[in-house]
Every structure is written in structure tokens, then in C-alpha cells.
Amino acid sequence: MSVSDFRSDTVTKPTPSMMHAMSCADLGDDVFGDDPTVNRLEALAAQITGKEKALFVPSGTMGNQIAIRVHTRPGDEVLVEESSHTFLYEGGGIAALSLAQTWPLRNERGLPSINQIQQALRPDDPHCPRSSLLCLENTHNRYGGRVVPLDEMEEVSGFARKSGLRIHLDGARIFHAHVHADIPVSAYAACADSMMFCLSKGLCAPVGSMLVGTDEFIASARRMRKMFGGGMRQAGILAAAGLISLEEMVGRLEKDHARAKTLAEALSPLPGIDLTPKDVHTNIVLLNLRPEELPSTVQTAQDLIQRLLEEDVAAFMFGDRVVRLVTHKDVGDADVERAIRAFQKILLSKSA
């Protein structure tokens, strides 16, 4: 029996139409700007996001780190939300690649407040680093795929710009926000000077992300992509799948959201699970565990994940007492039902 894999939407396989497009893609040398398929993908990404230009990069992490490098200079300070991907999960890239330091801001909404930003801004003093960049994230991974409301983003970004900060948006799953809120991706992108979004998560491409911004920004980003080792030559074989992502895969994301909601509603009443279904906006379900209500043999996230694997359900540990489930194209209704049955068996059985 195959495993129902809820670890991440990065595990998605390319669709048949992607495989066909990849097999017959028109190719050239992208480092020379000669790959027509990459050029088509970049033009489409710029059009959808309302930005002047776009750049195809191998990964979301590279896209974020290129943007930070372009927006800062050594010794600068980058304001980040404490639980953001750029701060927690990119290998210390801000320090290693941009020689900048971070000021993490704690906020349970996933979006720093104006007051927090104001308090973090450095004075014009040679003793202090220069506050130069604010990094935002939408949807927010560590807050369970929460969609940060557009009006809140606009308010914060407006203040940041008036304060002299540039803004980069980690929009890895921005199309999930678009589908949930029925707001154009371009409206979110307008809140930032640059934005990255992933093709390889819910949009199902095997590889790749897009970085968008002004002509000048992308020209600098292209130079950084080369420096970081991201020039991929005949990259159209990958960009062909990315075109299918944008043309065919966005509309189906609502199915992933509905399945995540079904999971949340079924799992929230179980003993030892702290979960509010209304907080599940998109395709991520975070289960906070209450050990005092759990069976004695299932006291940690690792314990629970191991038991789930025995029931052919794969989940992801997001902390000692947090389990993450992510819905995507390659888990259907039957997989959701299997996951629900597995949780019920583990958490309701007296012999667990």
C-alpha cells in the first residue's frame, strides 16, 4: 500500500501535461538570455504579478537570498518576522551571503506591527547598522498557512516605505492567498519592491521559483543568480513545467484548501489535539499537541509521526509538540479519510 504523504506540498509529482511540455520544450542558453521557454515564463510571471520583470531561479531560498543581497549592503540590518522562512529555514543565508544581520520581530499574526517596525528602526548613527530591508511572508508557513490580510500588508508596507525601508515578500504560496481571499496576486506584490513565489509547491512543478521586481532590480538579481550558481543554461526544460503551473494549476488549489478544512474539522475534537478549524485558511494544518490528554505512548510529535507511518500516513514534525499536515495535488479524498482514521485509531484506542 502506498503512503499518503502529507509532509509537504513539495512532494508533488509533475502532471502528464508538464511531462509532455518538458519533453518538447523549445530550448536555448538561459544565461545568455536565449531560452525562449524561460523567457515566456518570466514574461508571464511579470504580467501576473504586475511587476516589470521576472527571473527564473532554482529554488525559493535562492530567490529570497538573491533579493536580500540586492536590497542590502554588508553591515545592514534586515527586519524579519521571528517565525519567517527567511530567518529560520534558509541556512543562515542572510549572514553568509549578504553579510547583513537580522532583527527578528515577534508577532502572532505573522506580520510585524507598525509599532514593532518603528521601535526597531536604527538611528542615523555610525554606532548602529543601517536599517534597510523588511522581509514579509504570505501565506505564513509557521502560522499554519495563514493568509495575511491585504489591508494589513498595505498598512505595514506603507509605513515601511515612508521610513526608508525596502520590502521583500516571500510569497512562496502566494497563489494560495489569491485563491483563499479572491484577491489578485498583483495586489499582494504591489506591497513589496520584490517578491518570490514557488512553482514547486502547490503548483506542482518539479523545480523552480520566480523572483519579480523592477527592471533595475531584476538586472541586479540576474547578476546575483550567476554569482550564487543559479544559471542553468537550457533551463527551458524546467520552465516548461512552470508555464503549466501558472496556466493550469492555480484554479485547483481550492480543492487542497477544502481537504485541509476537512482534516481540521475531523481532527480538532480528538483528545490531545489543539486546533481551531477556522484558523485553517489554505492547505496547511498545524496540530498542537496536549501531552496530558494523549496516550502515554504518544507524548511527542515524533511519537505521533511514527505511529502514523505505521498506518501509511506521512506527516511532518514542526516542533516537539507540533505536527504539520499539508494537502496537495497528490493527496485525494481517500488519503484524507485514511489520515482521519489513523488519527482516530491512535488517539482513541485505549491500548495506544
CA distances, 215 to each of 220, 221, 260 (Å) = 9, 10, 38
Do 258 and 221 lie in one domain? The reply is: no
Of the candidates 195, 206, 154, 146, which has an alpha carbon nearest to the alpha carbon of residue 23? 206
Do 245 and 256 lie in one domain? The reply is: no
> How much is the average pLDDT of 227-241?
97
Report yes or no on 310 lying in a domain: yes
Report yes or no on 256 lying in a domain: yes
- What cell was used for 344? 482516530
Report yes or no on 320 lying in a domain: yes
pLDDT at 108: 79
Do 282 and 230 lie in one domain? The reply is: no
Half-sphere exposure of 261 toward its Cβ, with a 13 Å CA cutoff? 11
Do 38 and 129 lie in one domain? The reply is: yes
Are 215 and 46 spatial neighbours (Cβ–Cβ below 8 Å)?
no
- Check which CATH number belongs to the domain holding 287 and give it: 3.90.1150.10
Of the candidates 177, 210, 179, which has an alpha carbon nearest to the alpha carbon of residue 195? 210
Our measurement of the distance from residue 12's CA atom to the centroid of its chain's CA atoms, rounded to an integer in Å, reads 15
Q: How confident is the model at residue 107 (pLDDT cuts 50, 70, 90)?
A: confident
What is the number of domains present in the chain? 2
Domain span at residue 82 reads 13-249
If one counts every other C-beta atom within 10 angstroms of the C-beta of residue 34, the result is: 14
Report yes or no on 5 lying in a domain: no
Strands 284-289 and 273-274: antiparallel
Q: Three-state secondary structure along 213-233?
A: ECHHHHHHHHHHHHHCCCCCC
What is the C-alpha to C-alpha distance for residues 53 and 329, in angstroms, rounded to an integer?
29
Beta-carbon contacts of 304 under 8 Å, excluding residues fewer than 6 positions away, are 289, 294, 298, 315, 323, 346
> How much is the average pLDDT of 306-323?
96
Enter the DSSP assignment of 68: H
- Check which CATH number belongs to the domain holding 174 and give it: 3.40.640.10
Task: Indicate if the pLDDT at residue 95 is higher than 60.
Answer: yes
> What pLDDT digit, counting tens, does each position of 318-344 carry?
989 999 999 999 999 999 999 999 999
Do 262 and 282 lie in one domain? The reply is: yes
If 0-12 CB within 10 Å is exposed, 13-18 middle and 19+ buried, where does residue 23 land?
Answer: exposed
Are 133 and 109 spatial neighbours (Cβ–Cβ below 8 Å)?
no
Of the candidates 213, 169, 214, which has an alpha carbon nearest to the alpha carbon of residue 191? 169
* Residue for grid cell 523552480: 208
Percent of the chain as helix, strand, coil, to the nearest 5:
45, 15, 40
Backbone angles phi, psi at 167, to 5 degrees: -130, 130
Report yes or no on 157 lying in a domain: yes
> How much is the average pLDDT of 71-87?
97
Do 289 and 193 lie in one domain? The reply is: no
Do 233 and 285 lie in one domain? The reply is: no
Do 93 and 239 lie in one domain? The reply is: yes
Of the candidates 45, 28, 348, which has an alpha carbon nearest to the alpha carbon of residue 208? 45
Do 148 and 235 lie in one domain? The reply is: yes
Q: Which amino acid does the sequence have at 283?
A: N
The alpha carbons of the chain give a radius of gyration, in whole angstroms, of: 21
> What pLDDT digit, counting tens, does each position of 20-35 carry?
999 999 999 999 999 9
Do 47 and 72 lie in one domain? The reply is: yes
Type and span of the H or E element at 296? none
Report yes or no on 4 lying in a domain: no
Report yes or no on 27 lying in a domain: yes
Domain boundary among 232, 249, 266: 249
Do 208 and 78 lie in one domain? The reply is: yes
Report yes or no on 91 lying in a domain: yes
Domain boundary among 215, 249, 283: 249
pTM of the model: 0.96
